[in-house]
Amino acid sequence: MYDFKGKVALVTGASRGIGRAVAVALARGGASVAINYAGNEAAAQEALALCEKAGAAKVGLFRFDVADPVAASAAVERVGNELGGLSFLVNNAGIALDQLVMRVKDDDWRRQIDVNLTGAFNLMRAAARPMMKAKGGSIVNLTSVVGEMGNAGQAAYSATKAGLIGLTKSVARELASRNVRVNAVAPGFIDTDMTAALPEAAKQKMSEAIPLGRLGTADDVAAAVAWLCSDQASYVTGEVIRVNGGMYM
């Protein structure tokens, strides 16, 4: 457990899955947590209850579309006003609309770019000023193993995740002089609601492609994010931490 007392975290896409696990991990260290979600109110309330139970100093729900730059900027300002600043930003919100490249619809391409890449940019741009003013902060972007190795049927999604790695490294260089660190975590195949619906044969095939022989958990990813937010990672910026069981090295 890390000591996050007095820290404030904004986690996007935090109502379930990896985002929820990250929010709970930061809450466990005593941080105040702002939970962003797109529309699932019931799931957001569950995440809020879990964060409170884990020991968060404060918890707030923030419903907005990360792809909307005005909403993202307003949310960062509101987090600062209601929770007392902004120490950590975790860009986890994302969507995957899988399709072979020749069949990808223009609207699906744009929506994935808007949420996965522009959404992270919107929040990083908004968070940069208060973090620089405070002379400290940690931004963690959730990319993906497919952003590094590619995946058939995920041309658009892979492109957004690869772009997120470049964005991470560039902003890390820009903000380092103000002690604001920017890193990325690249999960592999993670056992979430999405993979839970897959047939057992498909899960077995996925596991066979992973040297450690199993799918990862949301907590595996959250542990890496929490470390990057902690003082133990104070000399780490511009990095991509792979949490993929060895499927891409």
List the catalytic residues.
Answer: 157
**CA–CA gap between residue 16 and residue 194 (Å, rounded):** 11
Q: What is the 3-state secondary structure (H, E, C) of the chain?
A: CCCCCCCEEEECCCCCHHHHHHHHHHHHCCCEEEEEECCCHHHHHHHHHHHHHHCCCCEEEEECCCCCHHHHHHHHHHHHHHHHCCCEEEECCCCCCCECHHHCCHHHHHHHHHHHHHHHHHHHHHHHHHHHHHCCEEEEEECCCHHHHCCCCEHHHHHHHHHHHHHHHHHHHHHHHHCEEEEEEEECCECCHHHHCCCHHHHHHHHHCCCCCCCECHHHHHHHHHHHHCHHHCCCCCCEEEECCCCCC
